[in-house]
Chain A
Amino acid sequence: DAGVTQSPTHLIKTRGQQVTLRCSPKSGHDTVSWYQQALGQGPQFIFQYYEEEERQRGNFPDRFSGHQFPNYSSELNVNALLLGDSALYLCDSSLYGGEQFFGPGTRLTVL
């Protein structure tokens, strides 16, 4: 049984570019949440997807958007990248309201 997977593992972009990160939930899970973790800090909640809709959103600008597909996988898109967007991006998956499991993360570096 595969756990939560994320791709790519690492990514380097330049300011102003756009990036798409991907997350496949654990088998049987239907809810995906995304978090941003800057170096030395705790993860910060970006948003959550359930039934292909954004259900909750943290304090992040509209440059951060997402999508959930019918197979429950999800994408995180960030437009107009800033240096401050450099971070580890984590997704977690759960069966709605249940235990949450994190993926290995995508390390984004913005130059």
Chain B
Amino acid sequence: GQSLEQPSEVTAVEGAIVQINCTYQTSGFYGLSWYQQHDGGAPTFLSYNALDGLEETGRFSSFLSRSDSYGYLLLQELQMKDSASYFCAVRDHTGEAAGNKLTFGGGTRVLVKP
């Protein structure tokens, strides 16, 4: 089967740095994606790592180690608007006649305090 583990909740103050870890067990692995979801909204894409290393996009960075089946999302210079749930998701497929599908972790709720 496939499974992803991430912390359920993180609390931090404005301006701080938060790291959300994600470990996974899966087959047919293509890469690890990160999504942000505000209450009542749909997931929005943040980043994608197919290869080992760090990807930086503004205040957010994502890291992947394929050999360790591990990745993390780094949120820097936290702002109040960053309060949301963050999901790691493995992009994989189950056969030649199939495109990519996403298997999500349970999500990490980030609460940013003033």
**Chain A interfacial positions (CB closer than 8 Å to B):** 31, 33, 35, 40-45, 48, 50, 55-56, 58, 88, 90, 92, 94, 96-105
Contacts and interface: CB of A to CB of B under 8 A. Distances in A.
B101 A48 contact: yes
A45 B101 contact: yes
Interface residues of B, number: 25
Interface string B38-67: 000111110010000000000000000000
A55 B99 contact: yes
List the 10 closest pairs (A to B, CB-CB), nearest first: A42-B104, A55-B98, A56-B98, A105-B42, A31-B99, A102-B42, A96-B99, A104-B42, A43-B104, A97-B99
A42 B87 contact: yes
B100 A90 contact: no
B100 A94 contact: yes
Contacts of A97: 99-100
Given A43-B104, A100-B102, 4 more contacts: A33-B101, A42-B89, A42-B104, A102-B42
A97 B4 CA distance: 22
A45 B99 contact: no
A78 B4 CA distance: 27
Contacts of B48: 99
B95 interface: yes
B30 to A, nearest CB: 9
Contacts of B98: 48, 50, 55-56
